[in-house]
Amino acid sequence: MSKSNFTRRGLIRTGAASGAALAMPSIFTGAAWSAAHSGYTNAPQGDTVTLGFNVPQSGPYADEGMDELRAFELAVEHLNGEGDGGCLATFSSKVLDGTGILGKKVAYVTGDTQTKSDAARASAKSMIEKDGAIMISGGSSSGVAVAVQGLCQEAGIIFMAGLTHSNDTTGKDKKANGFRHFFNAYMSGAALAPVLDKAYGADRKAYHLTADYTWGWTQQESIQAATEAIGWETVNNVLTPLASTDFSSYIAPVLNSGADVLVLNHYGGNMVNSLTQAVQFGLRDKQVNGKDFQIVVPLYSELMAKGAGANIKGVFGSTNWSWKLQDEGTQAFVRSFGTKYGFPPSNAAQTCYAQTLLYADAAARAGSFNPCAIVEALEGYEFDGLGNGPTLYRAEDHQCFKDVLVMQGKENPDNEYDALEIVEITPRAQVEYAPDHPMFAGGSLGECNPGA
Amino acid sequence: MDAILLQILNGLDKGSAYALIALGLTLIFGTLGVVNFAHGALFMIGAFCAVTMQRILTISQTTIDESRTDFLGNPMKVETPYVENWFGPELGGAIIDWAVPLAILFAIPVMICIGFIMERGLIKHFYKRPHADQILVTFGLAIVLQEVIKYFYGANPIPTPAPAAFTGSFDFGVLLGFDPNAIIYPLWRLVYFVFSLIIIAAVFGFLQFTTFGMVVRAGMADRETVGLLGINIDKRFTIMFGIAAAVAGLAGVMYTPINSPNYHMGMDFLVLSFVVVVVGGMGSLPGAVLAGFLLGILESFASMNEIKSLVPGIDQIIIYLIAIVILLTRPRGLMGRKGVMEE
């Protein structure tokens, strides 16, 4: 026998609530509001909206992850009207006014990717399912970014990638719910090649050491294509295991191979060790084919440059952004970050800060947190004032197109944050490519997924 | 021929590190019967002794240079190491330049103390427990130690260069009649190899030619009988734990210019060093040294492009393949003794 909980007092309460709801102005109950604020995963309830920042807080890229986290926290502060506002004043879009996003105060949760795809997916899943995060951002590894982007696509969540440089993130693994502000391996090659041509000439023989995973492969393919286009010859490409710490047996045969340039398609600890060991082998003191032997590191990170110390002097590479840029967006961000933390931000931090503001801005312009509305607002969006100059979020692959920086290890740095100097700001037109470029072929964005 | 010589040379320095770590592991296993999975962490702590020495020597006085500005536009803070203030830029600079070799003096007492604390504070409670328990507790300790180091020093590698006199490389090719640049070898790796030979000789000499060493060797052979003679063998074994920790630490100190130290470097060496111990023969000191160099050189050969093109991925598994072959043909390892780790 069942027992009913229906009481006279309850009936009165329910009736009163229904009556009040029916009596409300139509603006609050209208179809437009309902459509915009329901029917998608983690539609914000109450007066806050939660963002999820998924960065490596442990593991080999923890320092980089911490710098990203600092930038996220700063972005949230600025969105909520705290601090000096940073780039809100310089951003070309003026819809963000320091009152949160769509009137909701911004809250955030963090996850630890450990720079492992499975751990990154687990922490992203937890932030989505338990914490109600409506957007996930973060990075430091392309393997992780691709894995988390796939998860967000399935869950109906927007993924604003942090540091991820593999062509695949917006190439064969691109997703409609994923967006990348950071540059990619193709752009590094396109920016570096003319500088290398000018500095070292067109008659060069290159030997590549390449990290054996998605980023390394696409980086090597890109820089090889770019340098061969200026007349360089590729002597050899040796894949090195990601877990390697001692590269001596890979470096030792280089001088005897006929190559006069060593290209290190390595990142993070791999780059620090391989560059240090190449210098120890005296490669940069040698002459081969009548020319000074040279080393090139296509992707630089300020934090890794610190790790390589004096070995990085004179070595060319590329970055997405530098705190040394003089535009007002950069100045505003560096001032906010430097005042709060006491040192200049890395380019990983800058991309995370920009991505958070771009998400907030897209939601504000769309008038909704619905992922499909966000996608629509970001696709083909042109903006400026965040530190990279005029930038386009291309609709076809959700890749940002902007100027790319060619950097060189500084001969006499003033301090540990001064290891790199800008040698050229490569204009956006020089690093652009067609959406169906062969290096990015094989995937499709698919449809945006709003989730629940 | 030059390629073969090149890879033999390359294998020597890594083999040196394997041999030194495996020597310490074997000393601990041979004396205390403990399988110490925290030994790689001792190597890592040794490396961070070099980092600490470098930081101590570069403790600086801050002055304001009004003529320059920092990234925020404020007057530039200029850091000048006290060592340079006290001894002048030339001598002070030279002292800082020699931070890594000087760290040896700092690392020896530090590592012996850490070894004592580890043995007395934790490991002695596990002497009579199964090897599985010892592995679990020492592995846990290794993780704690590396997290402590990460907390204080960060996760990224820290550059710790060799003295300027030892940067650059030596052209062995010219010495042996080959073309220039055919066989080049970094000077510091040569230093590391010679250093490891000295340490290995010192440990063997200490065990072979001192009364203390004789008692320790007797204790390793028959602990009970030595105890019945009224000798406090436990105390000597504790000292040997400290010495083994110092050997691992010194291996770490001198390795820092080869690979910039990071908190994870001990784990990178630990598993391979255990394979070295097993291949050399559990409890055999000469076996550990021999296997260390042998596997280091074989690993280097397996990284050759010519070999990798024949068997892709061989550089990642060569040590384990060799270990399987040796253990199948010589189950006690190359120089293992009967009765060690055999029920």
* Chain B interface includes A309 (CB < 8 A): yes
Burial bucket for residue A38 (CB in 10 Å: 0-12, 13-18, 19+): exposed
Query: Between A and B, how many CB-CB pairs are < 8 A?
Result: 129
Per CB-CB distance under 8 Å, the chain A contacts of B304 are 249, 253
CATH topology of domain B2-50+104-329: ABC transporter involved in vitamin B12 uptake, BtuC (1.10.3470)
Q: Do B287 and B334 contact (CB within 8 A), yes or no? A: yes
How many degrees, rounded to 5, is the angle at CA A93 between CA A90 and CA A99? 85
Distance, in Å, from the CA atom of A268 to the CA atom of B88, rounded to the nearest integer, reads: 36
In a mutational test of the A interface, the residue from B70, B172, B260, B305 whose CB has the highest number of chain A CBs within 10 Å is: B260
CATH topology of domain A48-183+323-402: Rossmann fold (3.40.50)
Identity of residue B191: V
Query: Each residue of A344-361: pLDDT tens digit?
Result: 999 999 999 999 999 999
| Contact check, Cβ <8 Å, B6/A253 | yes
Q: Which of A127, A132, A137 lies closest to A104 in space, CA to CA?
A: A132
pLDDT of residue B311: 83
Domain with CATH 3.40.50.2300 in chain A: 48-183+323-402, 186-319
Using CB atoms, which residue from A63, A241, A309 is nearest to B316?
A241
Distances from the Cα of A59 to the Cα of A124, A137, B154, angstroms = 17, 18, 10
| Contact check, Cβ <8 Å, A256/B315 | no
Distance, in Å, from the CA atom of B31 to the CA atom of B24, rounded to the nearest integer, reads: 11
Enumerate residues 4 to 43 of chain A having a beta carbon within 8 A of any beta carbon in chain B: none
Strands A420-426 and A404-409: antiparallel
* Chain A interface includes B299 (CB < 8 A): yes
pLDDT of residue A14: 43
Per CB-CB distance under 8 Å, the chain B contacts of A324 are 71
List the end-to-end C-alpha distance of chain B, in Å, as a whole number. Answer: 47
In a mutational test of the B interface, the residue from A70, A113, A256, A292 whose CB has the highest number of chain B CBs within 10 Å is: A256
* Chain A interface includes B63 (CB < 8 A): no
Scanning every residue of chain B, which has its alpha carbon at the shortest distance from the alpha carbon of A303? Answer: B156
Query: Each residue of A301-310: pLDDT tens digit?
Result: 888 888 788 8
Cβ neighbours of residue A271 closer than 8 Å, sequence gap 6 or more: A264, A297, A299, A301, A304, A308
* Chain B interface includes A344 (CB < 8 A): yes
* Chain A interface includes B161 (CB < 8 A): yes
Using CB atoms, which residue from B182, B262, B264 is nearest to A256?
B182
Q: Which CATH superfamily is domain A186-319 in?
A: Response regulator (3.40.50.2300)
Cβ neighbours of residue A449 closer than 8 Å, sequence gap 6 or more: A153, A154, A155, A156, A176, A177, A371, A372
pLDDT of residue B341: 54
Cβ neighbours of residue B144 closer than 8 Å, sequence gap 6 or more: none
| Contact check, Cβ <8 Å, B258/A246 | yes
pLDDT of residue A362: 97
* Chain B interface includes A258 (CB < 8 A): no
Burial bucket for residue A196 (CB in 10 Å: 0-12, 13-18, 19+): buried
Instruction: Indicate the length of chain A as a whole number.
Output: 452
* Chain A interface includes B75 (CB < 8 A): no
Domain edges within chain B? 2-50+104-329
Ranges under pLDDT 50 in chain A = 1-8, 10-35
> What value of ipTM does the predicted structure carry?
0.78
Per CB-CB distance under 8 Å, the chain A contacts of B186 are 248, 277, 280-282
Distance, in Å, from the CA atom of A191 to the CA atom of A401, rounded to the nearest integer, reads: 13
* Chain B interface includes A78 (CB < 8 A): no
Tens of each residue's pLDDT in chain B, 343 residues: 677 888 888 888 888 988 998 888 888 887 778 888 899 999 999 999 999 999 999 999 999 988 888 888 888 888 899 999 999 999 999 999 999 999 999 999 999 999 999 989 998 888 888 888 888 999 999 999 999 998 899 877 888 989 999 988 888 878 878 877 778 888 999 999 999 999 999 999 998 899 998 998 888 888 888 888 888 888 888 898 999 999 999 999 999 998 889 888 888 888 888 888 888 888 788 898 899 898 888 888 887 777 877 887 787 788 888 889 988 998 888 887 766 555 5
DSSP, res B165: G
pLDDT of residue B58: 94
Q: How far B208 CA sits from the closest chain A CA (Å)?
A: 34
Enumerate residues 82 to 141 of chain B having a beta carbon within 8 A of any beta carbon in chain A: none
